[in-house]
Amino acid sequence: MNSNVQGFLNLMGRRRGLVTSIVIGAALGWVVGCVNAGYPAADARLAADKLEKEIMALRSDAAPTRAVGQDLRLFERVFDLVKEDYVHPVDDNALMAAATEGLKNALAEKADLPHDQLVGAATKAMLSSLDPYSEYMDRRAFQSLREETRGRFGGLGIEITKRDGPLKVVSPIEGTPAERAGLMPGDIITHADGTPIEPLSLVDAVELLRGEPGTSVLLTIARANTSDFDVSVRRELIHVVSVKSRLEGDVGYLRISSFSEDTGADLADAIQKIRDETQDKVQAFVLDLRNNPGGLLTQSVRVADLFLDSGLVVYTKGRDHEQRFESHGGDLTNERPVVVLINKGSASASEIVAGALQDRRRAALVGEKSFGKGSVQTIFDLPDRRGMKLTTALYFTPGGHSVEGGITPDVEIADDPDTEEDEQLRRALALAVELAGGPSVYWNSGAVQ
């Protein structure tokens, strides 16, 4: 494991227990952890007592039991983790107000909801009030998350986010039902099988879209400059092949569709294969990160390693800590020119790689402004196979730039959807050839050779 990543894990371990890996993504991006929250602080126990009083006041049939105590201990742990590890200081009263609102909404939908589900609804509402990425996950959602980090899961093959209400497509995953159905970055999913999406949390929306392979879901799509339309998408077992490569003349083309467990090693193999096949005469490389919604932070650092000899890749800032991730891998391309392709579907881990190579003057960026997600989430194991996702840090490029608003490419060019030609790739390949020949090329940060 990269020593920088291990340092971050050790830090989180000292604060909350054991954290096993780091994941960042536009929609489902996290630090996956196995956390022993220890004994909750007094304010967390007080919050749990207040929650139980609210339940008793709203549900006259609620009676304390051993199971009730277990439910409240889960709430205590979540409250304590938020107080200790959330990226910004939080107000106890605001947290409890959100939890109480979640209780009331759950009881309005079903008056006889079991106690554990009431506590779950309160916990979910409390976390959702923090930001679009902090979430409480029940057993099914938590298992789905673990499947995704392995790059194999059942569903549509689509990365989504929920910021300011609507459920937006970050990007369809290459070679999946969502891509074949024609879904595009920026599409808004308004309904699934007639169910409105906007009132749902991100986790609930994901659960609605998922189902058994072979079944279908009817999506209602809102797209700019087009009337709303329906599209049926058949669910499949999704196995993401994250790296593909080929030769384009004298330029090696490298495509990364997501950052999963083997991405770094697979990309290293692809680079070496191109060098071997050309007897090391390949002139330049194009790294295509378009419609790549992110994934494992460890793998984004490893990918940047392959193009850098040393130096800073990214750094994160939490509430009271900062962590730097350095490159130690060695430039596997032997300092050949690199052009990186990005667009509005490039997010999180993609933005870390693109931002690092741009700030370090190692690559020119071509395409469109990226998605813009600059936060890191930590996934904590909770009792009874449940989990929570909590925003614990913000990340910055080597030059100190937050990517929250997106990364602007050095050469901006839109792809024309009305043509079969890939205008962005054509421009990137031409720029790679120019760079290999040595003429000056102007970047956002100045002219370079």
For 398-444, what is each residue's pLDDT tens digit? 999 999 989 999 999 998 878 888 999 999 999 999 999 854 444 44
Say whether pLDDT at 259 is over 60.
Answer: yes
Looking at per-residue pLDDT, the higher value among 449 and 352 belongs to 352
Task: Work out the mean pLDDT of the chain and round it to a whole number.
Answer: 84
Q: Which of 162, 168, 373, 389 is catalytic?
A: 373
**What is the reported pTM?**
0.71
Helix (H) or strand (E) holding 215: none
User: pLDDT category, 35, cuts 50, 70, 90?
Assistant: very low
Say whether pLDDT at 5 is over 50.
Answer: no
Res 153: pLDDT: 62
User: Could you tell me if 389 and 30 are in contact, meaning their C-beta atoms sit under 8 angstroms apart?
Assistant: yes
Say whether pLDDT at 309 is over 50.
Answer: yes
Task: In whole angstroms, give the CA distance from residue 156 to residue 299.
Answer: 24
* Long-range pairs of 320-327 with CB within 8 A, sequence gap ≥ 24: 321/11, 321/393, 323/4, 323/7, 323/8, 323/11, 323/393, 324/4, 325/2, 325/4, 325/5, 325/8, 325/297, 325/301, 326/3, 326/4, 327/301
Say whether pLDDT at 310 is over 50.
Answer: yes
Summarize the confidence of residues 105-126 as an average pLDDT.
88
User: pLDDT category, 49, cuts 50, 70, 90?
Assistant: confident
Task: In whole angstroms, give the CA distance from residue 2 to residue 305.
Answer: 10
Res 144: pLDDT: 74
Res 414: pLDDT: 94
Locate 277 and state its tokens: 């096949």
Looking at residue 259, what DSSP letter applies? B
Say whether pLDDT at 445 is over 60.
Answer: no
Helix runs in 306-418, H state only: 349-359
Looking at per-residue pLDDT, the higher value among 430 and 33 belongs to 430
Cα 4 to Cα 11, 171, 238, 328, distances in angstroms: 11, 29, 31, 10
Pairing label, strands 251-256, 284-288: parallel
Summarize the confidence of residues 103-108 as an average pLDDT.
89
Does 243-374+397-448 match 152-239 at the fold level?
no
Concerning whether 373 is annotated as a catalytic residue, the answer is yes
DSSP 61-83: T----HHHHHHHHHHHHHHHHHH
Percent of the chain at pLDDT > 70 equals 83
Res 114: pLDDT: 85
User: Could you tell me if 92 and 47 are in contact, meaning their C-beta atoms sit under 8 angstroms apart?
Assistant: yes
Say whether pLDDT at 304 is over 60.
Answer: yes
Looking at per-residue pLDDT, the higher value among 199 and 71 belongs to 199
Res 197: pLDDT: 94
Q: Would you identify the CATH topology of the domain 152-239?
A: Pdz3 Domain (2.30.42)
Say whether pLDDT at 232 is over 80.
Answer: yes
CATH class of 243-374+397-448: alpha beta
* Amino acid identity at 162: K
Per-residue exposure over 34-68, b if at least 16 CB sit within 10 Å of its own CB, e if not = ebebeebeeebbebbeebbebbeeebeeeeeeeeb
Q: Which of 242, 245, 258, 348 is catalytic?
A: 348
Res 23: pLDDT: 46
User: pLDDT category, 152, cuts 50, 70, 90?
Assistant: low
Summarize the confidence of residues 67-91 as an average pLDDT.
87
Say whether pLDDT at 289 is over 90.
Answer: yes
Say whether pLDDT at 62 is over 90.
Answer: no
Cα 120 to Cα 43, 96, 348, 388, 433, distances in angstroms: 19, 14, 29, 11, 56
Summarize the confidence of residues 4-15 as an average pLDDT.
43
Res 109: pLDDT: 87
| Beta pairing partners, 446 | 443
- 225 burial level (CB within 10 Å; 0-12, 13-18, 19+): exposed
User: pLDDT category, 37, cuts 50, 70, 90?
Assistant: very low
Res 377: pLDDT: 85
Looking at residue 437, what DSSP letter applies? H
Concerning whether 71 is annotated as a catalytic residue, the answer is no
| Listed residue (249, 257, 367, 256) closest to 306, CA to CA | 256
Task: In whole angstroms, give the CA distance from residue 102 to residue 257.
Answer: 37
Read off the pLDDT of residues 374-399 as tens digits, 9 standing for 90 and up: 998 888 988 888 899 999 999 999 99
Say whether pLDDT at 8 is over 80.
Answer: no
Task: In whole angstroms, give the CA distance from residue 216 to residue 438.
Answer: 52
Locate 253 and state its tokens: 């083309």
Res 438: pLDDT: 57
Res 130: pLDDT: 96
Q: 26-40, 42-56, 147-161, 330-344: lowest mean pLDDT where?
A: 26-40
Residue ranges of domains in the chain: 3-139, 152-239, 243-374+397-448
Q: Which of 266, 359, 381, 415 is catalytic?
A: 359
Summarize the confidence of residues 57-61 as an average pLDDT.
65
Say whether pLDDT at 325 is over 90.
Answer: yes
Per-residue exposure over 227-258, b if at least 16 CB sit within 10 Å of its own CB, e if not = eeeeeebebbebebebbebeeeeebbbbbbbb
